[in-house]
Structure 1
Amino acid sequence: MSLIQLYDTTLRDGTQAEDISFLVADKIRVAEKLDELGIHYIEGGWPGSNPKDISFFREIKKVRLTQAKVAAFGSTRRAKTTPDKDNNIRTLIQAEPDTVTIFGKTWDFHVREALRISLEENLELINDSLAYLKNHVGEVVYDAEHFFDGYKANPDYALQTLKAAEAAGVDCIVLCDTNGGTLPHEIPAIMEKVRATVATPLGIHAHNDSECAVANSLMAVACGAVHVQGTINGFGERCGNANLCSIIPALKLKFGHECISDEQLKTLRILSRTIYEMANLIPNKHQPYVGNSAFAHKGGVHVSAIQRHPETYEHIRPELVGNVTRVLVSDLSGRSNILAKAEQFNINLDSKDPLTQEILENIKDLENRGFQFEGAEASFELLMRRALGTLRHYFSVIGFRVIDSKRHEEEKPSSEATVQVKVGGRIEHTAAEGNGPVNALDHALRKALESFYPQLRDVRLFDYKVRVLPAGKGTASMTRVLIESGDKTSRWGTVGVSDNIIDASYQALVDALLYKLVKDQEQAG
């Protein structure tokens, strides 16, 4: 099958998303990661629009990329000036990228209302902007902005704009669904008309406002596009851009197109999560291919089937994209879930062992009380070890007290916790302050235990979630606390449930510290 060129615009279109901003150093690191994945083009930004992007193009020259070409983005020249005098065009050339991509108006409505020039004049500025760039830059890509909307409004004129770009000798013409309103069934007929009009290689740039960006991109490839633009994790303005984390495996595993190597594909999940971390966003666990839940199975029938033949409920093998099959444990679970989970934790369980049924009944009872183990696999492992009698008794908490006080109306409340723990025959009694009662309790627990187990200093609390369980009791309702903790090498989730939020937090905190000790002991021997 043909080679499909992957064009990433995370550093330009992706940063237009709400809540996303990268420093220049971040952008350099993202570019390096994209190059390692095998992306062919990395759009670094619009050097004519802000100093940060100018700095990026200066700094990226110091980086040795393996294969990716660096692209600079801009627009056609302004009306009533020539390309050589247009500051945007000059800045693109001065950035010295491998490739320049500029967009131009395709929709007659935009030409009249946004640019306020004649349709003929728009054709001229498309053509001479691209021709000028072709004389100064090795490779030029033309983004036909709003092409699909423009074609539906005035097909003859939309095709004329593409002819103007082709006449300038552009290397690729990219059809843009800028407003994201096109549906997949509309793509084939439009692509057929375009291919009959121009011979230049075609690309697709889709936005996700109708939740069709990935589908539209794949449909365009099926209709002859050889260049696909998108962003990692679908970052982008409004509802985002086409998600390359879904497009890449679909192109390679389902279409059979060459785009990246098998080994590079296996790094897709970790790249996705790295970009989330750099953007300071929580990864979308339900994201196809790379999300934590993409290959997670909860129903007992499903689990039983995938253990025999994974393809019964998995459309690809998760390892191909660097993911793994996960078995979730819940009140929907059967024996097969328990056995699969035990195997994952290297715990020997027999399907005929009465203990397996006992664990299952215990889980169902706990979930009926409000516990949830999908995001708290560490608590689940500890539960199984307790049932099997294999959990070492590292410590016991004799008791704790948490005091919240507010002495003056203008002051913030202060929080203090005291804890008594017993390790072996020794009792440790400590106190600590914190930013709120849970934080104070966390500090006091650690302070009491770290003298016995110094490795607990490595534990960090990454996420803390409180859910009020529906019971119609108002402030007396049960609460579920989910905590995500981790150290330098891994993360784990723990859970606590109580009608007292401090007690629920205490349960999850103790499990988090206990799991660290269990994990370290296993690794040590």
Structure 2
Amino acid sequence: MTTIKIYDTTLRDGSQAEDITFTVEDKIRIAHKLDENGFHYIEGGWPGSNPKDVDFFDKVKHSTFKQAKIVAFGSTRSPRKKADQDPNLNHLLRAGTEVVTIFGKSWDMHVKQALETDLDENLRMVAESIRFLKQRTSEVLFDAEHFFDGYKKNPEYAFKVIKEAERAGADWIVLCDTNGGSMPWEVHSIFETVAGEIKTKLGVHTHNDSELGVANALAAVKAGALQVQGTVNGYGERCGNCNLVSVVPNLKLKMGLDCLSDEHMKKLKALSSFVDELANRSHWNHQPFVGKSAFAHKGGVHVSAIRKNRETYEHIDPEKVGNQTRILVSDLSGKSNIVFKAQEFGLDIDSKDPKVQELLEQLKRAERLGFQYEGAEGSFELMMREGLGQREEHFEFVGFRVIVEKRREDEAPIAEATVKVKVNGVQEVTAAEGDGPVNALDKALRKALTRFYPELEEMSLYDYKVRILDERKGTSAKIRVLLESGDHNSKWGTVGVSEDIIEASWQALIDAILYKLGIASRHEKVTPGTPAP
């Protein structure tokens, strides 16, 4: 089986994205994670361009990697400079990596206008730089920048550039679609032509400006590329780079090519989320293969078919990339959705049980009122348990009051909430101040119940979203509140809907607490304790 080498440039090319910044510590952690996931090459940065990359290479020297090779990146020597006197090339050597990648111009327009030198000097720059590095480094890769555009404009000169790289002893020649404007059939045709003439191993480096970064990389592999360069989650300048998280499963599962092991494949989703986390970015739910929604099913017909054979609506087994099938519930749902979710919640229910139809009708009525359960499965489970007569009522609501007071123009408003609840016939009245009425209400409710249920102390509120459902009604419009809560084991979503934002928030808060108490009682057999004096 042909092995395709995976070359990651998240730490260099990926960090050039407009909204991506990594600390040196972030880069080292990501490098180790990439190594743990079986990647072959990890491009750490450009040591001659900034102090952060110099620091990275100094620190990474003391790290041990299982299989990945750390790569220092830079350019060919400057025009009219000798290779041994070029600061960039010497910075690459001082980085101390066993692999070095340099890029050079292969488009004549760039040579004349960007470098402001002549075509022959550019050829010498490529050849002399590679020879200089090969005498001092074990492996040298040459990235032929703008190769596809250069080939389309002046194929003879573009070909001369990579021929010089081959004669100089480059271990790899990587053809780059730097502007991301080539079409897959162009990439395939040009790559196939080059592969017929060049004996050196070939790789490909594509960008996503035409939404074709992955497609172009696969086209190049089909034409003979043995290495694919890209970034985790497609990070990169402008529209990003080829997304390795999509390329790898396509290579392995669709094209039958070896790149990562089966065990490493199962870590792709975790890798994608890990890098997003360090980049301080929300994970893209609809990302192919690894997104939360990549194998989510909502329509009743789809769910019915999925329960019989997952291949009906899933192009791969999601577990192969560390993902899983998810069944959503909405007004598009059928009985299959209800039964599937019941099984997911550990509820024993038969599809022929009349309660299934009742639950389905209840769901559709709720969604017509504005409730949404796709992001609020905690509320949906509570609704389902109530419909089946299995919902536990851990406390009785008596009432609440919220006061917002602003005392001075230059001071923030003060919010205070009072909550009354009963637990086993014992009434508890508590008050709390908070950063706004919802926060005050949350604090007061927790304060009242924690005396009876101390496990609520480990529960946290992670996210709070508000959506106006009918903007035409202005301030009288219905509002939907979605909460994400969690503890050290899991997270859950709950929902509330009302014309009053406080009431909608209260509904979601109550569900969040009831869900937590339900988890505790089912797994730990928790019962309300005696309140502390």
TM-score range, shorter chain: over 0.9
Q: How many residues align?
A: 525
How many Å apart are 1:426 and its aligned residue?
A: 2.1
CA distance in 2, matches of 1:198, 1:481: 61
CA distance in 1, matches of 2:521, 2:23: 40
How many Å apart are 1:123 and its aligned residue?
A: 1.0
Unmatched runs of 5 consecutive residues or more in structure 1: none
Instruction: Tell me the SS of whatever aligns to 1:185.
Output: helix
- Say which is worse superposed, 403-412 or 492-501, in terms of deviation: 403-412
* 8 Å Cα contact 2:467-2:479 kept in structure 1: yes
* Alignment map for 1:106-185 (pairs within 5 Å): 106-185=106-185
Tell me what 1:203 maps to: 203
Tell me what 1:376 maps to: 376
Is 2:269 aligned against 1:290? no
Q: Which amino acid aligns with 2:298?
A: K
* 8 Å Cα contact 1:214-1:247 kept in structure 2: yes
Tell me what 2:342 maps to: 342
Tell me what 1:506 maps to: 506
Is 2:81 aligned against 1:81? yes
Instruction: Tell me the SS of whatever aligns to 1:378.
Output: helix
- Say which is worse superposed, 125-134 or 415-424, in terms of deviation: 415-424
How many Å apart are 1:402 and its aligned residue?
A: 2.2
CA distance in 1, matches of 2:247, 2:481: 36
CA distance in 2, matches of 1:167, 1:405: 79
CA distance in 1, matches of 2:248, 2:522: 37
Is 2:218 aligned against 1:237? no
Tell me what 1:363 maps to: 363
Instruction: Tell me the SS of whatever aligns to 1:390.
Output: coil
* 8 Å Cα contact 1:163-1:197 kept in structure 2: no
1:182 and 1:479, CA in 2 relative to 1: closer, same or farther beyond 3 A?
same
* 8 Å Cα contact 1:496-1:507 kept in structure 2: yes
Unmatched runs of 5 consecutive residues or more in structure 2: 526-533
* 8 Å Cα contact 1:35-1:67 kept in structure 2: yes
Tell me what 2:216 maps to: 216
1:62 and 1:448, CA in 2 relative to 1: closer, same or farther beyond 3 A?
farther
Instruction: Tell me the SS of whatever aligns to 1:180.
Output: coil
Tell me what 2:323 maps to: 323
Q: Which amino acid aligns with 1:217?
A: A
* 8 Å Cα contact 1:21-1:279 kept in structure 2: yes
Tell me what 2:314 maps to: 314
Is 2:419 aligned against 1:419? yes
Instruction: Tell me the SS of whatever aligns to 1:115.
Output: coil
Q: Residues 247-287 of structure 1, C-alpha deviation per residue, up to 9 Å, x if partnerless?
A: 11111111111111111111111111111112111111101
1:523 and 1:64, CA in 2 relative to 1: closer, same or farther beyond 3 A?
farther
CA distance in 2, matches of 1:113, 1:442: 63
How many Å apart are 1:434 and its aligned residue?
A: 2.1
- Say which is worse superposed, 55-64 or 36-45, in terms of deviation: 55-64
Is 2:96 aligned against 1:99? no
Tell me what 2:436 maps to: 436
* 8 Å Cα contact 1:145-1:178 kept in structure 2: yes
Tell me what 1:279 maps to: 279
How many Å apart are 1:72 and its aligned residue?
A: 1.0
Tell me what 2:461 maps to: 461
- Say which is worse superposed, 12-21 or 65-74, in terms of deviation: 12-21
How many Å apart are 1:443 and its aligned residue?
A: 2.0
Instruction: Tell me the SS of whatever aligns to 2:55.
Output: helix
How many Å apart are 1:197 and its aligned residue?
A: 3.1
CA distance in 2, matches of 1:168, 1:520: 68
Q: Which amino acid aligns with 2:348?
A: N
Is 2:46 aligned against 1:38? no
Q: Residues 471-505 of structure 1, C-alpha deviation per residue, up to 9 Å, x if partnerless?
A: 52012111111112222222211111111112112
Tell me what 1:485 maps to: 485
Q: Which amino acid aligns with 1:492?
A: W
Q: Residues 151-179 of structure 1, C-alpha deviation per residue, up to 9 Å, x if partnerless?
A: 11211111111111111111111111111
Instruction: Tell me the SS of whatever aligns to 1:181.
Output: coil
Is 2:377 aligned against 1:385? no
How many Å apart are 1:417 and its aligned residue?
A: 2.0
Instruction: Tell me the SS of whatever aligns to 2:472.
Output: coil
Tell me what 2:530 maps to: none
CA distance in 2, matches of 1:284, 1:214: 17
Q: Residues 272-326 of structure 1, C-alpha deviation per residue, up to 9 Å, x if partnerless?
A: 1111112111111101110111111101001000111110100001111111111
Is 2:68 aligned against 1:68? yes
CA distance in 1, matches of 2:454, 2:25: 34
Q: Which amino acid aligns with 2:16?
A: Q
How many Å apart are 1:193 and its aligned residue?
A: 2.0
CA distance in 1, matches of 2:317, 2:391: 34
Tell me what 2:397 maps to: 397
CA distance in 1, matches of 2:82, 2:401: 75
* 8 Å Cα contact 1:400-1:418 kept in structure 2: yes
- Say which is worse superposed, 53-62 or 136-145, in terms of deviation: 53-62
* 8 Å Cα contact 2:195-2:223 kept in structure 1: no
Q: Which amino acid aligns with 2:492?
A: W
CA distance in 2, matches of 1:480, 1:130: 61
CA distance in 1, matches of 2:112, 2:407: 66
CA distance in 2, matches of 1:45, 1:381: 48
Instruction: Tell me the SS of whatever aligns to 1:67.
Output: coil
1:62 and 1:452, CA in 2 relative to 1: closer, same or farther beyond 3 A?
farther
Q: Residues 195-253 of structure 1, C-alpha deviation per residue, up to 9 Å, x if partnerless?
A: 13321111111111111111111111111100001111111111111111111111111
Instruction: Tell me the SS of whatever aligns to 1:427.
Output: strand
CA distance in 1, matches of 2:166, 2:301: 56
Is 2:50 aligned against 1:25? no
How many Å apart are 1:191 and its aligned residue?
A: 0.8
Is 2:8 aligned against 1:8? yes
Q: Which amino acid aligns with 2:500?
A: N
- Say which is worse superposed, 8-17 or 399-408, in terms of deviation: 399-408
Scaled by the length of structure 2, the TM-score of the pair is 0.96
* Alignment RMSD: 1.4
Instruction: Tell me the SS of whatever aligns to 1:516.
Output: helix
Instruction: Tell me the SS of whatever aligns to 1:473.
Output: helix
Residue identity (%): 60
CA distance in 2, matches of 1:362, 1:38: 48
* 8 Å Cα contact 2:83-2:128 kept in structure 1: yes
How many Å apart are 1:6 and its aligned residue?
A: 0.3
Q: Which amino acid aligns with 1:277?
A: E
CA distance in 2, matches of 1:457, 1:18: 40
Instruction: Tell me the SS of whatever aligns to 2:331.
Output: coil
- Say which is worse superposed, 127-136 or 357-366, in terms of deviation: 127-136
Tell me what 1:264 maps to: 264
How many Å apart are 1:115 and its aligned residue?
A: 0.8
Scaled by the length of structure 1, the TM-score of the pair is 0.97
Q: Which amino acid aligns with 2:115?
A: L
- Say which is worse superposed, 86-95 or 395-404, in terms of deviation: 395-404
